[in-house]
A and B are shown apart, each in its own frame.
Chain A
Amino acid sequence: MTDNRSNIIRVTFILIGTMFIIKLFFIQVLDENYRLAAENNVMQRLIQYPYRGLVYDRNGELIVYNKPVYDLMVVPREVVMEDNSEFCKHLAITPEEFEEKMEKAQNYSWYKPSIFLKQFSNEGFAAMQDLLVDYPGFYIIPRTVRAYPFKGMANALGYIGEISKYKLERDTTKYYRQGDYVGISGMEAKYEEPLRGKRGVKYRMVNVRGLEKGSFKEGQWDTLPKIGDNLISTIDINLQEYAETLMEGKVGSVIAIEPATGEILSFVSAPSYDPNLLTGRSYSEYYKKLSLDSLKPLYNRPLMAMYRPGSIFKIIQALVALQEGVITENTRLRCNRAIIACHGPHTYENLKGAITKSCNPYFVQVSRKMINQGVTDNTYEDTRIGLDKWRDHVASFGLGSPLGIDLPNEKGGMIPNVAYYDNAYQSKNWKFSNIQSISIGEGENLVVPLQMANFAAIMANRGYYITPHLIKAIGENKEPLAEYQKKNYTTVDSKFFDVGVEAMAEVVRSGTGQYRAKLADIEVCGKTGTVQNKDRPDHSVFIAFAPKDNPKIALSVYVEHGGQGARAGAAIAGLMIEKYINGCTDRNYMEDYVLNGEFIY
């Protein structure tokens, strides 16, 4: 009996041992979860943010770079602080704020660091570093924010900021994480991918208190961050700054393009803001101020502000009519002011004269010839066919739809088509007399300033344009971007452009007072485009290119409520051309006129 019992005891010992060995086999060999949990315990994944790419202007001048700032971090577990009043005083926060921030950090984790206070400047960092010796649990990590040596072109450059929840949820690439910085507007947004580079990841081991204990698996999983690509902009920062100065105290835009390449030389949206203030700690306060400003400095006028094209449109009408063969450059038409009002002492002009004098009746009659070519006997049907044809021609000048500049939020303006009038009149029974105001750039036509600058470039190129753009090369590759090499031809033959160019030259030479754009040594071609406003002064609009032969610069100037195009518009255009081609101007009186004139209402 006792032998039996001692056997039972032996068997019990063996059973327990076997049970352990089997259970151990399950958790050690069969179940992967424990290994993963162990790695999870000790492994800390550190994201290594690469430097965002820099931006240079066309002459190699640095216009966007990264500036170091410092975040104050806290590990709640390690904090020993009986009295926080001294600490708060140094940080310029109240004890309540301190408690609030501390609680937030504790809620996140007791062991892992979280941001206590964001983005100290260099000076703040120096002061903090001495102080922190006495406060365990707090430490500082460096980060970078964007900085801009030149205050200008904020709307073109755009800004970066923490990714929004909305964007994060819609990020199909799954690249971004909460708290990441992304380009929010301007070229920062458009060129986000090359600029951001590629994050690196470093795995390290930590103990239960979060102290570093060396690299994980000798760093075999680590990846190095790839620095963002630098961008080379088409902007001439000197010209840009000059343009910004000229636009001070005004509302509007100035866009200058190199016609042969489509490269944008300056891109001004006025009023603007200081891009440096949309970084770092001042971001939210300044952003709020900007969005509440009645002059809307965040509104990117060159791309978004839509105006009627006004008289400038007459050049397009002339070119299309020539192409359609309904007139020749010698066609003279009576200035019949019964059809529509006109201005100035003229009665019977040829095409060039009509453009120079901006004769309204002339172009209404030309448009009628274009649109009602008598293809069918039905006037309505004939108008429809004519309008379609006309619209195709106009669209080839880059109007009625976005051009495709490398910036977000570009508007396309409006060139009405058949469907538009069908809808507007709720029937198909409309004819030329119903729509004749489009002949002189009024009525339903709408353009944005960029399209008008591009039109100036088309005139300069005698018939084609290259999509305007702000970036010509990315990264090491110094070659121009392929997508901005293509010549977009208009539907109008190059030979018809000469008369338009001649007319534009004549406008500046001896036109209705556009002498402000006239230069002694450079032949400037230009056209006013006064946009009339009810109850308020007109918008002063001027487009120009120069020199007439082998043009170097084409531009559009919009000064809202600046009066006639011949005033602020022509003056600024002239100064810009002079500055760009000659490098300087000696017409100080003209600068004074622009800077001191009352152009804001």
Chain B
Amino acid sequence: MYGSKLHGGLRSKRRIHLLKRTDDIKASKLDWLTILIVIALALAGWLNIYAVVYDSQLDQNIFDLSSNSGKQILWFGISIMVVSLIMIMDFRFFDSFAYPIYGLVVLLLVSVLVFGTVVSGSKSWFELGFIRFQPAEFAKFATALAVAKFLGKAQIKRDQIKSWALAIMLVGIPAGLIVLQGDTGSALVFSAFVIVFYREGLSPLLVLVGIIAVLLFVLTLLVGQFYLILAIIIVAAILTAIGKRTSKKIRTVVAIAVVTIGVVMSVDYIVNNVLQPHQQNRVKAFINPEADPLGYGYNVTQSKIAIGSGGFTGKGFLEGTQTKFDFVPEQSTDFIFCTIGEEHGWLGSFILVSLFVTLLLRIVFIADRQKSNFSRIYGYGVASILFFHFAVNIGMTIGLFPVIGIPLPFFSYGGSSLLAFSILIFILLKMDAHRMQVLVH
């Protein structure tokens, strides 16, 4: 009996020990598919950063620390260090410290307005000795954490406008601060959270209204105010004419028509008065890049020429001419996709787009398998941010979106963005590896 008790004690001890071991095993169960895709993107990006500035007449080394490709290696190192740090941290840290992290980043965003350095028109950089970094990049994961924390609370009432207003405020504060820095492109990224809100129950009607407003905006620029208003009136008249003519229906139709016409009529005002001249030009370039191919349409025209000239299989690694000879602007950062398009053709572009779509789907898959609200919502935040970057960055290079200067994740040259995206995605992977422990917690 005693012996058995002792034995039982031993057994329970062993059990605990065993439990701990399985925990460890689970903890090491990182989602390697995601990691592989990220590494593939980063390596491909690195080769392209080298290709952009490659000059056959000079003997250039891809590891040369004075070149972009060399510097990017340093950032690989820094990112790996930070990622390792995340891996050894307790997975609960991010849940517990979501708000403090968010608070800290907002503080950084405010102080960059005061102490920051102006780089190409935006006051969004901190200079620390030899290193420069952009707090806006880090605001993305911090906001994703805060939104996850807020919406993940069990007691949150998702049918109340107030809850959504608070959530939108969480997104709006950093976005607004970034606008103040003069970096509208990065601020627009925060609109991606609409995907998270939609997933978490925001009425699709509101999402739809937003999409329709954007569509109307673009259509007005494409078609012209007069025709669009005419079309709206005709559609409204047809809707009123067919079916039962109840007064409620007529009232609704008329109200919607008036609102849409109002939106349409405000477009000219917004374009001319709210947007800054360079932003107006980007809108104009998007509507008709051929109108002024050497002026505001230059970037898009040259970018399309570079990509379009790649053909099916491309000109070959280091063989691109448009990117190498500086016809395409910002080619190692915002327009890096041009190098892929030109040197690796449609095939290369297809592979890259597929890699990104696979990564996005995988993240959504990971998010959906989370046991806690917090990590699920955070997962969707990651997917949304990456999606926005992917869609807008590639979309603008081929003329499907207006030019918004944001990098292609893991691919573009730039330390802050590489580090911030690594943090963003590895926090999710860390929490995913421990998802089975959430019940214990």
Chain A interface residues toward B at CB < 8 A: 2, 5-6, 9-10, 12-14, 16-17, 19-21, 23-25, 27-29, 31, 33-35, 37-39, 41-42, 205-209, 213-214
Contacts and interface: CB of A to CB of B under 8 A. Distances in A.
B398 A23 contact: yes
Given A6-B364, A20-B349, 20 more contacts: A2-B201, A5-B198, A5-B204, A9-B195, A9-B198, A9-B364, A10-B361, A16-B357, A17-B357, A19-B400, A24-B307, A28-B312, A28-B341, A31-B308, A33-B308, A34-B308, A42-B321, A42-B325, A207-B324, A209-B326
Nearest to A211: B325
Contacts of B302: 41
B354 interface: yes
Contact of B307 (A10, A21, A27): A27
Nearest to B55: A213
Given A9-B199, A23-B398, A207-B325, A28 B364 contact: no
A20 B310 CA distance: 15
A537 to B, nearest CB: 70
A28 B345 contact: yes
Contact of B360 (A13, A20, A206): A13
A35 B309 contact: yes
B304 A34 contact: yes
A28 B346 contact: yes
Residue among B324, B326, B349, B383 with the highest chain A CB neighbour number at 10 A = B349
Contacts of A13: 357, 360-361, 364, 383, 387
Contacts of A19: 400
Interface string B24-35: 000000000000
B353 A27 contact: no
Contacts of B309: 34-35, 37-39
Nearest to B360: A13
A35 B311 contact: yes
Interface string B330-347: 000000000001100110
Contact of B398 (A24, A42, A208): A24
B356 interface: yes
Interface residues of B, number: 47
Nearest to B311: A28
Nearest to B322: A38
B349 A28 contact: yes
Contacts of A16: 357, 387, 390-391, 395
Given A9-B383, A13-B360, A33-B308, A20 B325 contact: no
B368 interface: yes
B400 A20 contact: yes
Nearest to B391: A16
Interface string B49-65: 00000001100000000
A283 B367 CA distance: 82
B97 interface: no
User: How would you classify the secondary structure of chain B's contact residues: helix, strand, loop or mixed?
Assistant: helix
B398 A27 contact: yes
Contacts, number: 120
Contact of A34 (B307, B360, B367): B307
Interface string B295-311: 00000001011111111
B325 A213 contact: yes
Contacts of B308: 27-28, 31, 33-35, 37-38
A206 B325 contact: yes
Given A29-B312, A38-B322, A20 B305 contact: no
A12 B192 CA distance: 13
A28 B345 CA distance: 7
Given A13-B357, A13-B364, A207-B326, A24 B341 contact: yes
Contacts of B398: 20, 23-24, 27
B171 interface: no
B15 to A, nearest CB: 37
A38 B398 CA distance: 15
Contacts of A2: 199, 201
Nearest to A28: B346
Contacts of B400: 19-20, 23
18 contacts: A5-B199, A6-B368, A9-B380, A9-B383, A13-B361, A13-B364, A16-B357, A20-B394, A21-B353, A24-B341, A24-B353, A27-B398, A28-B310, A28-B345, A35-B311, A208-B325, A209-B326, A213-B321
Contacts of B324: 207, 213
A9 B199 CA distance: 8
B327 A208 contact: yes
A209 B383 CA distance: 41
Q: Which 8 pairs of residues, A with B, have the shortest CB-CB distance? A: A34-B308, A38-B309, A207-B325, A17-B357, A27-B308, A208-B326, A28-B346, A42-B321
Contacts of B367: 6
Contact of A20 (B199, B201, B304, B353): B353
Given A10-B361, A20-B395, A41 B349 contact: no
Nearest to B358: A17
B317 interface: no
A14 B358 CA distance: 9
Contacts of B361: 10, 13-14
B311 A29 contact: yes
B391 A38 contact: no
A506 B201 CA distance: 129
A28 B357 contact: no
Contact of A38 (B195, B321, B326, B349): B321
Contacts of B395: 16, 20
B93 interface: no
Nearest to B196: A9
B151 to A, nearest CB: 13
A41 to B, nearest CB: 5
A6 B309 CA distance: 37
A19 B357 CA distance: 12
B297 to A, nearest CB: 13
B215 to A, nearest CB: 15
